[in-house]
Structure 1
């Protein structure tokens, strides 16, 4: 096989792999006590978004959190959306007074929390600095 053909096949294989690598995205699930507990027992990194549809701060956080879901450092993390208006037991258990709260769990342990942060760089730094 010629060097050109070998090089061409190697480059083609590299480009064929790019869509697979680029599509790796952290999972996003709606909160349920059982799935949250299972993720904690597995020792997963869990990013909790306490969200309300009517909340402008929550809407401002969404593009940043979606961007973070595509970050390869968070590919194995689980993003969980807690509904501020209906998941009251979770809010009480974790003493969450308001929507737009972001929590990071390392397994069962809460590692950090942020409230109402909408600055892209600060929210990214908060999440990536606490995983």
Structure 2
């Protein structure tokens, strides 16, 4: 048993060092600036804008779901922008968001879908998949 565990750890470590582990599939979280957001849109990237607040219970439930999904191979090209509902009001208004816990997906410049207050992993995954279309 000890030999098997040691081998498994070694294999995982080699995979991580070779860029083959879970981190190789992670989406990219980027601080929001209008210039960087527009560049992602211009490049035709799949994009998630998460309007969030540290005090929001829905946001707290969304975070582990998003963390898990962002590490799936299907979302390796996803660019994620977290926008603070309280301190980035200009961006919140520009996105047309009325509440925190709003998820907005784009493929390039085209908005593909949005939801607010969703904490169901399946429907959040379905929303993120729209960014790949």
Task: Judge same fold: TM > 0.5, yes or no.
Answer: yes
Q: Aligned Cα RMSD in Å? A: 1.7
Counterpart check, 1:123 vs 2:124: yes
State the shift of 1:125 in Å: 2.3
Task: Give runs of aligned pairs for residues 1-131 of structure 1, distance below 5 A.
Answer: 18-19=15-16, 20-22=19-21, 23-24=23-24, 25-131=26-132
Q: Which range moves more in the overlay, 26-35 or 102-111?
A: 26-35
Unaligned runs of 5+ in 2: 1-10
- What TM-score results when the alignment is normalised by the length of structure 1? 0.82
State the shift of 1:35 in Å: 1.1
Count of aligned pairs between the two proteins: 118
Greater C-alpha Rg: 1
Q: Give the equivalent residue in structure 1 for 2:3.
A: none
- What TM-score results when the alignment is normalised by the length of structure 2? 0.80
- What is the alpha-carbon distance in structure 2 between the residues aligned to residue 48 and residue 71 of structure 1? 18
- What is the alpha-carbon distance in structure 2 between the residues aligned to residue 47 and residue 119 of structure 1? 16
State the shift of 1:17 in Å: 6.3
Unaligned runs of 5+ in 1: 1-13
